[in-house]
Amino acid sequence: MGDYTKLGFGEIQNIIDLYTDEKVVDFRPLSLGISNSNYEINTNNNKYLLKVSDDKDADEVLGEMTILDYLRSQDYKYSIIPYKTKKDELVYEYKHVYGVLFPFVEGIPPGPNDNTCFEIGAALAALHNVAGPFEGLRSCDELSFPAKVIYEYTKTETCPEDFKKLFEDLLGKKIEKYLTQSFATGIIHGDLYYDNTLFDNNHITAVLDFEQSGIGNFILDLGISMSGCCLEKGRISPCLIDSYLKGYESVRHLPANEKEFINEAIYLGLFSISLWRIKRFKEGNLNPLMADSYKQLLYRAEIFKQTVSQ
């Protein structure tokens, strides 16, 4: 997916006019993301990435951009800073569409390997080290699905039976202890898979797509990221987890309670993204063809259990 919202040349130019007097030379839709439309735009002076939100309202997009603006003020070197419109707005609105304009950053998403995991781990730890106060920044609970929300969802009638059964199998004996922990909190990314990064010469240069970001527990952010980065042939690899954690701890030391619940955090990371897909594709109408895509995350969790049990 890349262009759910179809924009023509004139519409692209009108959006660019909200930011600059440059003239659009050409543009092309990009096959990136599953909840946005993305366009590469070339003007007579610059190259831009135009994002159109397809499943979030303008306030939700503004919440994401406010976090990026805060990260700019804190010199977090891996975030890409959005442009502001001529009216000093972080989010544009044009007719029926709204979104954000970014500089177009060159780089390639990496494949999962030891170096990739080490680098992403270090970048996530640097994000977790960003200092507060965080007044005005949204909670991750508004968009993502932390452990308590997942647990409560399994008790609802709308919860798919396979989701509920596997949750009880993997976490039934430890979820209550997990929920009593006082985990460290701060800004989390919420969706840091390796395809949400750019690399150059084997080093990470950018962390992308802060759509699920907010104030939340670092441990869940770790679990989500490792569940989507530490993959070998589609399966979570303990060796790549070790590389990821080495990178992470080169920047931020893991407290004892986070170390204790690493495997549970990985399970919860998979359930969190699985529930995100259920809400958008199975219960929602963003892309009905992906209604069963949540099962992919459940299968990955089941295989991971077999791996750590050996």
pLDDT given at position 43: 98
On whether both 144 and 276 belong to a single domain, the answer is yes
Give me the CATH number covering residue 257: 3.90.1200.10
Question: 48, 77, 103: which is the final residue of a domain?
Answer: 103
Q: Does residue 245 form part of some domain?
A: yes
Give me the CATH number covering residue 69: 3.30.200.20
- What is the total count of domains within the chain? 2
CA torsion sign for 194, 199, 201, 205 is negative
Q: Does residue 108 form part of some domain?
A: no
Q: Does residue 89 form part of some domain?
A: yes
* Alpha-helical regions (H) of the chain: 9-17, 58-73, 114-128, 147-153, 161-171, 175-179, 218-229, 238-249, 256-260, 262-277, 294-309
pLDDT given at position 130: 98
Q: Does residue 195 form part of some domain?
A: yes
Q: What is the pTM of this model?
A: 0.90
Q: Does residue 42 form part of some domain?
A: yes
On whether both 149 and 60 belong to a single domain, the answer is no
On whether both 75 and 158 belong to a single domain, the answer is no
On whether both 216 and 192 belong to a single domain, the answer is yes
Q: Does residue 287 form part of some domain?
A: yes
On whether both 71 and 204 belong to a single domain, the answer is no
pLDDT given at position 33: 55
Q: Does residue 3 form part of some domain?
A: no
Q: Does residue 1 form part of some domain?
A: no
On whether both 49 and 126 belong to a single domain, the answer is no
Question: 103, 124, 144: which is the final residue of a domain?
Answer: 103
Mean pLDDT by 10 residues, the chain (310 residues): 70 97 95 72 96 83 94 95 95 92 89 95 98 93 86 96 97 94 96 94 93 94 97 95 98 97 97 94 84 96 90
pLDDT given at position 4: 57
pLDDT given at position 159: 97
Closest CA to 227 of 167, 269, 194: 269
Question: 44, 71, 103: which is the final residue of a domain?
Answer: 103
Its domain, for residue 79, covers 9-103
